[in-house]
Structure 1
Amino acid sequence: MNRAVQETDYDAFSCKVSAIAKHYLPRQVAGEEKEEGEFVQLHMAYAQGLKSVSRRAYSKVDRAVKSAQPVMNYGTYLRSIAIDEAIACFLKEHANFGADAPVQVVNLGCGSDLRMVQLLSQVPHMKWLDLDFKESVALKSRILKDNSLFQRELGPSEATETAEYSTSRYCLASCNLNDIAQVAETLKRFTTQDCPTLVLSECVLCYMKSIESRALIDYIKSFYKTGTWISYDPIGGDDSADKFGKIMQTNLRESRHLEMPTLMIFNSPEKYVQRFDTPPPSTSVVTMWQYYVQSVSSEEKMRLKALQFLDEIEELEIILSHYILAEASWL
């Protein structure tokens, strides 16, 4: 099961590469041409690194990129910018913190996510911890260490027995999120309890059993004095006529030997918020369809429309309505 979950990262990375190739990403923002160029360069460098260290993994990514459909590119675009905006809001809220009291990000199930590279250079008072299964971390570490671009941006890794990649501000370490004792030890070693903490989980909680995900959330919320949790996940749908979740479960089980134990438990935005046990206004949740309709400008919608022909608008709405971005904060 762990191997199957780890390989979902190839899906996520291939979707991002496809969205870049078709110019969905990065989002076009006036005056940020340098950042846009760096975004593409970083992801292309990582793809080439993947090709060098694991032909098998690269082949999976390459095949997925070639078969990516417009609805997938839309989904990847929205997932990326929605999370980026949530991170930006958190950093703006804590902009007054300095070197003596930094903010920190803990990325659970980080996979091949490269957000840390640009954000660490843009936010001097931030520290970042990437966590994932041992095999995933070893692969990512090799790519980061073998490429001068990542070495220049992150700094050379220091020798350590407890992390695959470690600098004064960035750490990449292995951790089984189902093992709370291991999670506790890792967070105590690499993070600080009393500074504002942003926790990221992208398609992580959905693959965990209810008891393990509950334990993970409860421990992290009790460990950090103040924090915000940003979680991106699929939901199964709570309408009796809604077959999306059941079809997804069946397809994953038959084709990938994957299970989503809580897909049909936290199967609506309202139920998903209950994962975090924090009352409004400390919690919020939005489906990706709501985000697309409400938060993407008319000009940006026109830009996206010009990239690829998309006639499955109803299909797009159905898919995006079954993915959510949740935010939960605690003091």
Structure 2
Amino acid sequence: MKSNSRVQSTNDCSTLSKVSAASLGYFEDEYQKNFVNRNCRRSPLIHRGYCVRSQAVTHCINEFIRDTQSCDHRQVVSLGCGFDSLFFRLRMQSESPLCVWEVDFPSVVKRKCLLIEQSGDLRDLLGSYVTPDGNGPLVLLSQGYKLLGVDLTEVSSLDAALNLAGLSWDCPTLVLGEVALCYMDPARSTALIGWAAERFRDSRFVLYEQSCPSDPFGRVMTSHFASLNSPLLSLSEFPHIQDQEQRFLHKGWKTCRALDMNEFCASCVPLPEVQRIHNLEPFDEFEELHLKCSHYFILVASQGFLAEHPCLCPVPERCTEFEMGPRPVPSGSLAAVPFPVPVTGLRRFGHRSCHMASHGVVTTGGFGEKDGRHQRLMDLHVLLRGGDGWDQEQTMEGWDGRLLHSLTPLSEGRGILALGGRFSPTRPAEGALILEHVAGGCTVKVTQMNLQPDIQRWRHTATEVDLSGHSYVFVFGGRSVSTLALQDSMFLCLEKMSWDQVEVSGCPPAARHSHSSCSWKGGAVISGGLLQSGLPSASIHLLMLRTPHFLWQQLETIPALTPRYSHSSHVLGEKLLLVGGIWVHCRSVPGVTVVDLNTGHSVEYEIDTSSLEWPLMVHGHSSVLLPEEEQLLLVGGGGTCFSFGTHLNSRPVLVQLPPAVRAAPTD
């Protein structure tokens, strides 16, 4: 069938990615390269995705080996094995080798058998073997390795082939399904799960595949696989992790536990390994990695004596660091509608937007679409509002290509200050830019400034504050080429356009990047961000004016906020609005959170996207507060993830303000 051939083609792509990741040291696998005839360097994001997958499956296999160490014989049955090198890795690593049974489409395993026979290294590890003649399911048989060609949708054929090859049904067995069952009709894959529960008395089933198809990223993911004619069929009936757990329990498995890959990474990967991976190559796609990991899970179901042993156990030093919380209960929804007029040039992410004069919005930089190509953008985009609404648009050259910078409107007509940013994860932007609106049109004048020392950072914030009659731009956090998360702060005196030493007392926020900051009562409000640990923060810190210095205070929120980063924020009156971003600690999508800056009380709102024809990405975006219209203008958003390609919001979106802040006075 054509659909089966497309599913099989995912094996070839996956194998190339594994070889690329292994060649850079993300995991040890010197055997996978024998199953490809060319090299292909993948992106750091793809490397990390396959690294997480390898870590999870290896963790589960090691737990199985640990829990069966007193057994004389044990085995692994890999369903939909593709060109995985599992047997050869186990052959070298395990003191007591497991017998590995691999099953896939006949055409796949025949190709795999041929590649094994062509490799001297693999043949040596295999030892003596036979390749039965004929068209039967037995393709390659050795003492510790069996390769079978069977369509997994035919459970009776699978059972017969394993029986014919001499499988022991009574010994401890690990059944492994890595991104294989998801392509099968749900009824047939569920029957396969039930068959395994019935046939293997003391066994574990390890499943790695996708979940959460209905949120914005999930829609991009499922659309990608559908476009490859390899739809994720299991998601129609088992969209969430809890559905998968119940599926296994209903089919006879005694225990079942599943973690999404963010949970797994935060609890089961030792900190030294986290740091080692970070140092392998430059990486700056945190949003897309977390989104990808929130849509994949590892599941372990057990029965027999294996059900008495815990699975997916956290490593000791991380057992209390991460806790998956419930979805925040929304108090209502906020309507999102497309921008009322067609707009070009705003399909981008990693950019910045802010008010320009009193009736315009300027957007700078980012990565997005231009002339049908995805690239770093070298332009500025201006929207102007007239008597009949938003009636002027202009895109102009003059931007230097930086992204993930800060954009700060300055008081007293000083223009807009652009600080920091990067051209690549190894090349920070140098100098500062002043943007000035030229009256009477959409033109923006850009002036280069040479501030010393240069801040050499990105994913930071820069906020105007006031102290003793002097105006400063307060720069906090971010990341640099050498430091994952920065904690230091800097003050740029606007009168002198030079850095000043300003006294700040109290306990500062922990080092972070991708946080947000707003001006408030002469000081600043710092919210969220991604910490040195790689996990988001839920904190809100206030830089309070206490003449002749500033004072850090932490605001306790009621209820506690869900940690987030890559969001935007605004202050309206005494209320802080947190807009969008990435949640790692719960399986839902952030909307708008309103926090009372005096009491700490917080209220959550969903964003109602039913009027939009595309999945709204509220990360990598920018937002502009429109208090007169009682709306938020969301500009851009999206990213480039894994093999799913670049996904960008089609056009700007207007979101109504929450009832609690409408008509509130502005500071």
**Shared fold per TM-score greater than 0.5:** yes
**Once the two structures are aligned, what percentage of the paired residues are identical?**
26
Tell me the SS of whatever aligns to 1:307.
coil
| Counterparts of 1:181 and 1:276, CA distance in 2 | 20
Residues 110 and 130 in structure 1, CA contact (< 8 A), matched pair in contact too: yes
| Counterparts of 1:228 and 1:280, CA distance in 2 | 9
1:201 is aligned with what amino acid?
Answer: G
Runs of at least 4 residues off by over 3 Å: 278-281
Residue 234 (1) aligns with residue 201 (2): no
Tell me the SS of whatever aligns to 1:276.
helix
Residue 114 (1) aligns with residue 89 (2): no
Residue 150 (1) aligns with residue 139 (2): no
Residues 44 and 282 in structure 2, CA contact (< 8 A), matched pair in contact too: yes
Deviation at 1:175, TM superposition (A): 0.6
Residue 291 (1) aligns with residue 264 (2): yes
| TM-superposition CA deviations, 1:177-219 (whole Å, max 9, x none) | 0012211211222311111111001001110111110111111
Q: How does 1:100-249 map to 2 (within 5 A)?
A: 102-121=73-92, 122-124=94-96, 126-161=98-133, 162=136, 163-190=138-165, 191-237=167-213, 242-249=215-222
What TM-score, normalized by structure 2, do the two folds share? 0.43
| TM-superposition CA deviations, 1:264-317 (whole Å, max 9, x none) | 432222112123126897111111111112222332222222222222212211
**Where does residue 266 of structure 1 map in the other structure?**
238
Question: Runs of 5+ in structure 1 lacking a partner?
Answer: 27-38, 52-57
Deviation at 1:160, TM superposition (A): 2.3
Residues 131 and 175 in structure 1, CA contact (< 8 A), matched pair in contact too: yes
Question: Runs of 5+ in structure 2 lacking a partner?
Answer: 305-667
**Where does residue 35 of structure 2 map in the other structure?**
46
**Where does residue 70 of structure 1 map in the other structure?**
44
| Counterparts of 2:231 and 2:131, CA distance in 1 | 37
What TM-score, normalized by structure 1, do the two folds share? 0.84
| TM-superposition CA deviations, 1:133-180 (whole Å, max 9, x none) | 011001100011121111110113224244221112211010100012
> What is the CA RMSD across the aligned residues, in angstroms?
1.9
Deviation at 1:10, TM superposition (A): 1.1
1:94 is aligned with what amino acid?
Answer: T
| TM-superposition CA deviations, 1:211-238 (whole Å, max 9, x none) | 1101111112111112100010011256
| TM-superposition CA deviations, 1:238-262 (whole Å, max 9, x none) | 6xxx1222222222222x1111112
**Where does residue 10 of structure 1 map in the other structure?**
12
**Where does residue 490 of structure 2 map in the other structure?**
none
Which structure: greater helix fraction?
A: 1
Deviation at 1:23, TM superposition (A): 2.2
Which structure: greater strand fraction?
A: 2
Residues 15 and 35 in structure 2, CA contact (< 8 A), matched pair in contact too: no
Tell me the SS of whatever aligns to 1:152.
helix
**Where does residue 314 of structure 1 map in the other structure?**
287
**Where does residue 274 of structure 2 map in the other structure?**
301
Deviation at 1:123, TM superposition (A): 4.3
Which of 62, 67, 76 is the aligned partner of 1:93? Answer: 67
Where relative contact order (Cα < 8 A, 6+ residues apart) is larger, the structure is 1
Residues 128 and 170 in structure 1, CA contact (< 8 A), matched pair in contact too: yes
Tell me the SS of whatever aligns to 1:176.
coil
2:197 is aligned with what amino acid?
Answer: K
Tell me the SS of whatever aligns to 1:274.
helix
Residues 236 and 267 in structure 1, CA contact (< 8 A), matched pair in contact too: yes
| Counterparts of 1:248 and 1:158, CA distance in 2 | 41
| TM-superposition CA deviations, 1:75-116 (whole Å, max 9, x none) | 101111211111111011111112xxx111100011111111
1:97 is aligned with what amino acid?
Answer: C
| Counterparts of 1:196 and 1:282, CA distance in 2 | 16
Aligned residue-pair number = 296
1:16 is aligned with what amino acid?
Answer: K
Tell me the SS of whatever aligns to 1:24.
coil
The range that moved more, 256-265 or 140-149, is: 256-265
Residues 194 and 226 in structure 1, CA contact (< 8 A), matched pair in contact too: yes
Deviation at 1:12, TM superposition (A): 1.5
Deviation at 1:21, TM superposition (A): 2.5
2:66 is aligned with what amino acid?
Answer: K
